[in-house]
Amino acid sequence: MDENFLALCMGVPFSASSCLHRLALLLLPTIIWGLYKLSFKLRRGTRASSNDVLSLPPGPRGMWRLLQVPWAGEGLQFLAAMRAGHPEHFLFDRGARYSSNTFRTLIFGHRIVMVQGAAANRFVANAEKKGLLRNSWPSTVLRVVGNHAPVVKHGAEHRRFRQILSTCLSPLPLQKLVERASRITYTQIDTHWLPHARCSINTSTEFHDSCASDVITMMPLLRLHTFRLACNLLADISDEKILSRLHKSFKIWLAGMLDLPLNLPGSPYSKSLRARDELLREMGKLIDVKLASRECRQLQFVDSERDVDVLSLLLRAQADDGSFLSYNEMKDTLLFLLFAGHDTNTASLAFTLKYLEQYPACYDQVVQEQEAIAASKNEGEELSWDDVQSMKYTWKVVQEALRLWPPVLGGMKEAMDDIVFDGYLIPKGWKVEHIYTH
């Protein structure tokens, strides 16, 4: 009776052997798929933990998943938060939605696990020491930054780059650049800041006619200052025509770096790639000039009191194995140092000034400390390394501003093996974005 009923349901003659054969064929693919999924989960769980089968961090599902654009994932929402100046909203909103500081997302083809908090920072530091995580920027960003930039290097190549850069960016060379930085800052204030300050103080017609506004907008002035300062200290660039060309290309390059990564004609990303080529050509010209200079080849920095720039030091710097940076490595490194020295410093200065305005007592103490240093200087005497070292309270203010609002949102790593954090599995090959917190 049962066999006939089963056969009738399957639409075959009433034969027990035929019916069981059809049933086996029907169930076999389902059984194989189920066994595969089970073994996959067990394998994942075993590699990350010998005891548990772990789940992925919470992520978009239901309506939120339907709203995602294929491949882009939540990339458009992330870019919108970045453009609005509040990237933290992207994190906090999803943390509240999933009731977890650890969650997963998809951003422009990259599967990313977001982690935040003090425990996350310790986890990332320990995992990196053990080789379970390593620096890994998105491929679309690396295409703009360059394949020879220091941030791209790993293992032995990273150690080689670090050895070379440490000889150029150690305290001794930096001490020699303080006076030059002081001169550039004075010039910038006289040329670009004081006219704005006069506009804000004096409301007479003669000043107002030459001013677009009676309000000083700090961010553009800070960006211009840090860019000019970085160009001069890195490669001794002071020519206004070169600075103007570099600044124009640099702004286009930055604008497309974190934009929608579509290399279409006229898109910000496409313009960014072209701007990178223009910047590298300029870097190449600067290197050629230095290489042709007899002074650059003969000058021994430690025996000279003369100013030299970072590029001059890079051309002479050697790794422990005696190797130098190649021509292409030099160009990408210069561009990356210009990016690193400009963007984060601008943000740090901006937030330091913001908090000083909010806390008058702190502002008064900083002014008092600076006035004491100024009173100890002779007329026309430049700021020295010792003067900078004596700015104890000012440095504490800067550190507190960095703590309250880090200039960089976080760092991106790649899992080199299945790892576990906060009770969740982070599969090998996935990105891990750790958010800097205070």
For 153-180, the pLDDT digits (tens) are 888 898 999 999 988 888 887 888 898 8
* Cα–Cα dist 188/220, whole Å: 13
Assess whether pLDDT exceeds 50 at residue 123.
yes
Query: Residue range 11-29: average pLDDT?
Result: 41
Query: Residue range 120-137: average pLDDT?
Result: 92
5-14, 24-33, 236-245, 279-288: least confident range: 5-14
Assess whether pLDDT exceeds 70 at residue 19.
no
Confidence of residue 44 (pLDDT cuts 50, 70, 90): very low
Select from 69, 130, 75, 61 the least CA-distant residue to 107: 75
Confidence of residue 301 (pLDDT cuts 50, 70, 90): very low
| Domain spanning 158-404: CATH 1.10.630.10 | yes
Most trustworthy range by pLDDT among 148-157, 309-318, 338-347, 423-432:
423-432
Query: Residue range 222-239: average pLDDT?
Result: 91
Assess whether pLDDT exceeds 80 at residue 294.
no
118-132, 291-305, 368-382: least confident range: 291-305
Tokens of 425: 């599995």
Burial label for 124, CB within 10 Å (0-12, 13-18, 19+), is buried
Assess whether pLDDT exceeds 60 at residue 363.
yes
Look at residue 53 in the predicted model and tell me its pLDDT. Answer: 64
* Cα–Cα dist 8/356, whole Å: 84
Look at residue 204 in the predicted model and tell me its pLDDT. Answer: 33
* Cα–Cα dist 228/243, whole Å: 7
Q: How far is CA 291 from the centre of its chain?
A: 31
Give span(s): CATH 3.30.43.20, the chain.
Answer: 63-157+409-435
Beta strands 410-415 and 431-435: pairing type? antiparallel
* Cα–Cα dist 134/294, whole Å: 41
Assess whether pLDDT exceeds 70 at residue 399.
yes
Contact 234, 338 (CB under 8 A): yes
* Cα–Cα dist 349/398, whole Å: 8
Amino acid 114 reads M
297 dihedral zone (left: phi>0; alpha: psi -120 to 50; beta): alpha
Tokens of 214: 């009676």
Look at residue 32 in the predicted model and tell me its pLDDT. Answer: 47
Confidence of residue 375 (pLDDT cuts 50, 70, 90): very high
Contact 301, 308 (CB under 8 A): yes
Most trustworthy range by pLDDT among 2-16, 52-66, 237-251:
237-251
Confidence of residue 196 (pLDDT cuts 50, 70, 90): low
Per-residue pLDDT tens for 59-85? Answer: 887 545 545 556 677 888 888 887 777
Pick among 3.10.20.30, 3.40.50.1580, 3.30.43.20, 3.30.1330.10: CATH of 63-157+409-435: 3.30.43.20
CA atoms within 13 A on the CB side of 345: 16
Q: What residues have CB less than 8 Å from 142, skipping those under 6 apart?
A: 149, 152
Assess whether pLDDT exceeds 60 at residue 43.
no
Look at residue 153 in the predicted model and tell me its pLDDT. Answer: 87
SS (H, E, C) the chain: CHHHHHHHHHCCCCCHHHHHHHHHHHHHHHHHHHHHHHHHHHHHHHHHCCCCCCCCCCCCCCHHHHCCECCCECHHHHHHHHHCCCHHHHHHHHHHHHCCCCEEEEECCEEEEEEECHHHHHHHHHHHHCCCEEECCCHHHHHHHCCCCHHHCCHHHHHHHHHHHHHHCCHHHHHHCHHHHHHHHHHHHHHHHHHHHHHHHCCCHHHHCCCCCCCCCHHHHHHHHHHHHHHHHHHCCCCHHHHHHHHHHHHHHHHHHCCCCCCCCCCHHHHHHHHHHHHHHHHHHHHHHHHCCHHHHHCCHHHCCCCCCHHHHHHHCCCCCCCCCCHHHHHHHHHHHHHHHHHHHHHHHHHHHHHHHHCHHHHHHHHHHHHHHHHCCCCCCCCCHHHHHCCHHHHHHHHHHHHHCCCCCEEEEEECCCEEECCEEECCCCEEEEECCC
Confidence of residue 52 (pLDDT cuts 50, 70, 90): low
Query: Residue range 41-45: average pLDDT?
Result: 40
Look at residue 437 in the predicted model and tell me its pLDDT. Answer: 61
Look at residue 366 in the predicted model and tell me its pLDDT. Answer: 96
Confidence of residue 197 (pLDDT cuts 50, 70, 90): low
Contact 430, 418 (CB under 8 A): no
**Average per-residue pLDDT for the chain:** 80
* Residue 187 or 366, more confident: 366
Place of tokens 């590298």: 280
Look at residue 341 in the predicted model and tell me its pLDDT. Answer: 81
Look at residue 355 in the predicted model and tell me its pLDDT. Answer: 93
Look at residue 220 in the predicted model and tell me its pLDDT. Answer: 85
Burial label for 271, CB within 10 Å (0-12, 13-18, 19+), is middle
Look at residue 347 in the predicted model and tell me its pLDDT. Answer: 87
* Residue 37 or 356, more confident: 356
* Cα–Cα dist 276/253, whole Å: 6
* Cα–Cα dist 38/287, whole Å: 58
Q: How many residues does the chain have?
A: 438
Confidence of residue 209 (pLDDT cuts 50, 70, 90): very low
Query: What proportion of the chain, given as a percentage, has pLDDT over 90?
Result: 39
Assess whether pLDDT exceeds 50 at residue 107.
yes
Give span(s): CATH 1.10.630.10, the chain.
Answer: 158-404
Look at residue 14 in the predicted model and tell me its pLDDT. Answer: 37
